[in-house]
């Protein structure tokens, strides 16, 4: 039972650590920042490129940032095993 409580404590520490992480992806002046809770922290657009291009870049940046956060989370949780 105490071992399970220890694991829960470690899990909480990992969750707190992930909350503090931020991932920033930037392409062609379009930037997104997402935290470890998958919350959008910042979005910066580039007015010099078309709306259609910005939308494509934003989608790609968000997807890349989310994937990076997922991979970071997997590594953190694997460290508990």
| DSSP string across 5-25 | HHHHHHHHHHHHHHHH-EEEE
Q: Enumerate domains of the chain plus CATH numbers.
A: 2-78 (3.30.1310.10)
pLDDT digits (tens, 9 = 90+) for 27-79: 999 999 999 889 999 999 999 999 999 999 999 999 999 999 999 888 887 87
pTM of the model: 0.77
Residue 30's SS3 state is: strand
Residue 57's SS3 state is: helix
* 42 DSSP assignment: E
Residue 49 CA to residue 33 CA, distance in Å, equals 20
């Amino acid at each position: 039972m105490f071992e399970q409580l220890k694991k829960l404590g470690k899990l909480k520490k990992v969750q707190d650590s992930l909350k503090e992480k931020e991932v920033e992806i930037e392409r062609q002046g379009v930037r997104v920042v997402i935290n470890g809770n998958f919350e959008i922290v910042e979005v910066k657009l580039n007015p010099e490129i078309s709306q259609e291009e910005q939308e494509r870049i934003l989608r790609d940046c968000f997807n890349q940032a989310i994937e990076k956060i997922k991979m970071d989370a997997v590594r953190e949780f694997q460290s508990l095993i």
